[in-house]
Chain A
Amino acid sequence: MLGFVVGEALRDLRRAGRVAVSAVVLITLSLVALGVFWVLSFNLGRAVAEWRDRVRIIVYLKREPSPAEVPALMQRVRALPDVAGARYVAKAEALASLKRVLGKDAGVADQLPSNPLPASIEVTPTAAGATPDGAGALIQRLAALPEADEVAGGAEWVERLSHWQRLLATIGLGIGATLALAAILTVTTSTTLVLHARRHETEIMRLVGAPEAAIRLPLLLQGLVQGLLGALLALLALAVGHHLAAPWLEPLMSLTIGVPRLEFLTPPGMVTLLAAGAGLGAFGGWLARGRRGLA
């Protein structure tokens, strides 16, 4: 029976001809659109995750505490909610950092009559503290410390990056879903044409008591084959596109969002794309139901 079902599905595909080809092309286009946005969103997501790890809040102190006071102060800071870690930066260390940044112009700092840089505490927030709301609340808690003069930092821009990532994913899903709908309708049309072409066979099959599976499975299978073929072509197009675009995009990405490599879909992502294609095709085939032969 399996041989019969597969044979009939391939025969049906040949019968559907150009309409089947259109369905495959539409499935390819919808999955390419989905895949492009998926890849971009995935890479932007990596940047967001990486930058979220780098969020720091700086507490500038009114005066430099004595070495004996530092441990107690740091203990109070680390005990605050949403604080993952804290590092004390003395005035001298801050000046040394500035000199490192200035490089060959570091001599400028030596001209200063005294060290103008305040002592500070570099606070690393937890994941919850790295969101805009979490960071805002943490800043308020740190500003309430009697030793604090000013608190700087926040996660708004990381959130803006994250917002772009979500926007890209939504646009990708929207375009992909629209094209997927068109693909489903095309598969349904091609399957309906096949149903019309094989109506005599279906009539004979019902008359001789063929099981419903023998009548319906070839339709489902031909839709599935169209979907899988479309998904394979989409994956191929995405891989070629990635191979060509990566050398151009990677320097730009490194410069703007600090992610040096444009990653391609992961193996589970590729399997999901193939499954989505097969699912689209099978759904289109399933929608094109033939007339009910049994009273």
Chain B
Amino acid sequence: MIELHRVSKVYEVGPVKVPALTDVSFHLGKGEFVVLTGPSGAGKTSLLRLLYREELPTEGDIEVLGQPVTELSRAKVQTLRRSIGVVFQDAKLLPGRTVYENIAFVLRVTGTARREITARAFDALRAVGLSSRAQAYPAQLSLGEAQRAALARAIVRQQPLLIADEPTGNLDDAMAAEVLAIIKDIWTSGTTVILATHQARLARTLRRRTLMLEAGRLVKDEG
């Protein structure tokens, strides 16, 4: 499902080279749930951005869903991204659209037939327990609800891979527990999940395979 082989990423800020990841290798099988942890600035977000080809590695090879992401054409990158759901710490909902429209938007721009959009959007909303808030605007949602809406948007195309980058970072414990429960439900339905968090306690409560990054290096792979 995901294979990283000796991957390094260095950002160049003017003349200064800032290493974000150094010699990272791991394999993630289909249907796994992996927690990517480590302190802020450890390289978690950089690693996730490499997986959905928002960035290219400086060195090394990456394979996602059987695709060598470093060698993909623009069209192939688009195809790859249609198979990946991504959730961020800030939900990134479009403020001028309702919850339903935010979810339908993703389906529309990826060419889903109009007659299927409503049914699929409401399926996703039901999966995150947000059907009753379909017509609410993002500003009218709590942080937890906004994150659940973002999750609905990420899974509405029933992608085989879900990447969640600090999805509970802005939430209190109760809301975080709700969101994690939903992510676990998504995983049990067959989706491979890679979840990044800097909250070590949270990582432990999940009791899943954990990859720990420190200063851009993979220092622990356990569970």
Interaction A to B? yes
Residues of A within 8 A of B (CB): 1, 3-4, 200-201, 203-212, 214, 293-295
Contact partners of A295 in chain B: CB under 8 A: 53-56
Assuming the A-B contacts A204-B92, A211-B78, are A4 and B54 also in contact, with contact meaning beta carbons closer than 8 angstroms in the complex?
no
A1 to B78 alpha-carbon distance, docked (Å): 16
Kindly list 13 other residue pairs between chains A and B, CB separation below 8 angstroms, not including A208-B82, A211-B78. A1-B108, A1-B111, A4-B108, A204-B92, A207-B52, A208-B109, A208-B157, A209-B79, A210-B78, A210-B110, A214-B109, A214-B111, A295-B54
A208 to B111 alpha-carbon distance, docked (Å): 11
Contact partners of A205 in chain B: CB under 8 A: 109
Interface flag for B94 (CB, 8 Å): yes
Interface string of B64-93 (1 = CB under 8 A from A): 000000000011011111110010000010
A205 to B86 alpha-carbon distance, docked (Å): 12
CB distance from B80 to the nearest CB of A (A): 7
Contact partners of A294 in chain B: CB under 8 A: 53, 74, 77
Interface flag for B10 (CB, 8 Å): no
Assuming the A-B contacts A201-B94, A203-B92, are A208 and B106 also in contact, with contact meaning beta carbons closer than 8 angstroms in the complex?
yes
Sorting the interface of chain B by its residue count into under 10, 10 to 19, 20 to 34 or 35 or more gives 20 to 34
B105 touches A204 (CB 8 A): yes
Within 8 A of A (CB), among B19-73: 52-56
A209 to B80 alpha-carbon distance, docked (Å): 7
B86 touches A207 (CB 8 A): yes
Interface flag for B17 (CB, 8 Å): no
Residue of B nearest to A11 (CB): B96
A3 to B108 alpha-carbon distance, docked (Å): 9
CB distance from B83 to the nearest CB of A (A): 8
Contact partners of A210 in chain B: CB under 8 A: 78, 109-110
Most buried by B among A200, A203, A204: A204
A209 touches B94 (CB 8 A): no
A209 touches B77 (CB 8 A): yes
Residue of B nearest to A4 (CB): B108
Partner of A200, one of B83, B94, B109: B94
CB distance from B222 to the nearest CB of A (A): 31
> Closest 5 CB pairs between A and B?
A209-B81, A209-B82, A210-B109, A209-B78, A295-B56
Contact partners of A209 in chain B: CB under 8 A: 77-83, 110
Contact partners of B95 in chain A: CB under 8 A: 200
B92 touches A212 (CB 8 A): no
Most buried by A among B52, B95, B109: B109
Most buried by B among A1, A207, A209, A214: A209
A-B contact pairs, 28 of them (CB 8 A): A1-B108, A1-B111, A3-B114, A4-B108, A200-B92, A200-B94, A201-B94, A204-B92, A206-B81, A207-B52, A207-B54, A207-B86, A208-B82, A208-B106, A208-B109, A208-B157, A209-B78, A209-B81, A209-B83, A210-B78, A210-B109, A211-B75, A211-B78, A212-B78, A293-B54, A295-B53, A295-B54, A295-B55
A201 touches B56 (CB 8 A): no
Contact partners of A293 in chain B: CB under 8 A: 54
Most buried by B among A1, A201, A205, A208: A208
Residue of B nearest to A7 (CB): B108
A234 to B42 alpha-carbon distance, docked (Å): 60
